[in-house]
Amino acid sequence: MTLTFIILIACLLASTGAKWSYNGPDGEHNWSSNYPFCGGAFQSPIDFQTHLLRYDSNLPPIQVQNYNLSTNEQLTLSNNGHSVQLSLPSHMYISSLPYKYSAAQLHFHWGSSNQLTGSEHTVNGKQFAGEMHVVHFNSDKYPNISMAVDKHDGLAVLGVFIAIGEFNPAFEKFFKYLNGIKYRDQKIQVPAFNIHALLPSHLDEYYRYDGSLTTPPCYPSVLWTVFRRPVTISQKQFLALATALYASYAQESATVPLHGNYRKPQLADNRVVLVSFKDGLHGILSAASPFQRKQVIQKLLVGDLADLADEGLYQLLPKLSPQSGNDKKLKKTKKQEHWSQATQKQQWLKNKVPSNSGYSLSVGKNTPTPWNMGTFDTGKEMCFVSLEENVMHQLERYHAKGLMVETLKEVVFPELNLRSYLHCRSDLDLQTIRKLIQGRSRDEATELEQSLAEAMLKKMRRQINQHKYPKMEATIGHPQATVPKDFNSALTYNRPQRVEWED
């Protein structure tokens, strides 16, 4: 009962928490001071750079149900001081995801009258005029969005790029009521309409990745689906949105315009972006299958780490896959024969613990229990509010409250990385590998780490060489890399410090 009370209080504080904005002293560069997850891992939005993309032929077209609402229904249109928000009934839902995700609301991010760029996600640095987010919660597991918002599988958001072009009658269904919500906390009722008309015509082409809320408290609880093709609104419609609203209350003497309400791109954090399309993308990699990824984790838990260090690095670092004609063929040893695909499958089935999620991992009786306590189940609940409270409590014991953000990264990142890796939406990080091999033979673990560090250093050098030749760099799409001055730094998990953006 006490724990439940703490969590409820924490949720209440998060929903009515510290003041935040996109600009000024409460701008995004300072969000993590009051909302630690904003400085943590798996944050959104991100830039969909070519080298992050992985084609997945198993991604189905997005299917939405009950989006064509009756005009007899009433929807609440509101100005929450950060965006325009339209409430949605929960009988609207996405039916093409592992869980049923029911609709809660949609809202917008946009630029300003003199800056016609305001989307949160970008494509190879290109920013669109605006972006619409249709927010859904996991109604198979949670009764409402308030209970789902801080769970690792709680939310699914459909992102829609907005470009300036032809007049859009669907958006006009509620744009014409914007003058009724000019000031913060103003709300009006508007007739419902066909929400499906707000989406692009092609729902089979999209980007998919694991990320976060793009506003405080920034919980990394969102399965993102961002459609490739934008919808258009006219310049007149865009200017109406960008100039009609205020972030301040009606009674305030100094009015604050509501525009430029978008967060800057965040670190990729070893994530990859699955895409459902291949056309227009040259040399794009395909995502490894979930079964192959489970094999890799099984090897880390119960396999021969020395063998993996000698010959299997390409399985841990997929971007280092041998290229035909350039690298020597991998030699097959007796140990490798033991870990042939058929044997791996047999070993996996023998050690597997049944799980509804289909992603359980277990170790043998005589194997030391790793960090994930012998079984990793992606269906296991992970509550970010509870985790934040626990970390805060531990830090206060040592009078180290200022370490909240960095500690949350260390605590949350490996689990998020492993979950995302098993769903093919991340590469496996060195810190996660370290966690997985805790308790294994120290000599084997050290050899594996050293081999991974050497492989990572070779990769950095290759990227530098590629950067020297613009044509090659443009084809492959890798950004410039820098070699650490200290070779041993490659062994240390040390993600880049977050940039403080100027407002």
State the DSSP H helix or E strand holding residue 330, giving kind and residue range, or none if neither.
none
Residue 302 belongs to what H/E stretch?
helix 290-302
Report CA torsion sign: 324, 327, 328, 333: negative
Query: What distance in Å separates the CA atoms of residue 7 and residue 1, rounded to the nearest whole number?
Result: 10
Position of tokens 């409250």? 401
Q: Which two tokens stand for residue 314?
A: 């390409």
Peptide bond between residue 217 and the one before it cis (omega within 30 degrees of 0): yes
Beta pairing class for 122-123 and 47-48: parallel
50 three-class SS:
helix
Pairing of strands 155-164, 206-211: unpaired
Active site residue 82: yes
The continuous run of DSSP H or E covering 270 comes out as: none
Query: What secondary structure letter does DSSP report for 253?
Result: S
Q: How far is CA 274 from the centre of its chain?
A: 11
Catalytic residue among 29, 51, 82, 282: 82
* Pairing verdict, β 93-94 and 101-110: antiparallel
Cα 56 to Cα 381: distance, rounded to the nearest angstrom:
26
Nearest CA among 400, 360, 352 for reference residue 380:
360
Closest CA to 409 of 385, 425, 391: 391
Residue 318: cis peptide before it, omega within 30 degrees of 0: no
Say how far apart CA 168 and CA 165 lie, in whole Å: 9
Q: What is the DSSP string of 438-486?
A: TTS-HHHHHHHHHHHHHHHHHHHHHHHHHHTSHHHHHHH-PPP----SS
How many other C-beta atoms are found inside a 10 Å radius of the C-beta of residue 397?
7
Query: Kind of pairing, strands 187-191 and 130-138?
Result: unpaired
How far, rounded to the nearest angstrom, does the alpha carbon of residue 9 sit from its chain's CA centroid?
A: 26
CB 131 within 8 A of CB 198: no
323 CB-contact burial (10 Å; exposed 0-12 / middle 13-18 / buried 19+): exposed
The answer to whether the CB of 53 falls within 8 A of the CB of 25 is: no
The set of catalytic residues is: 82
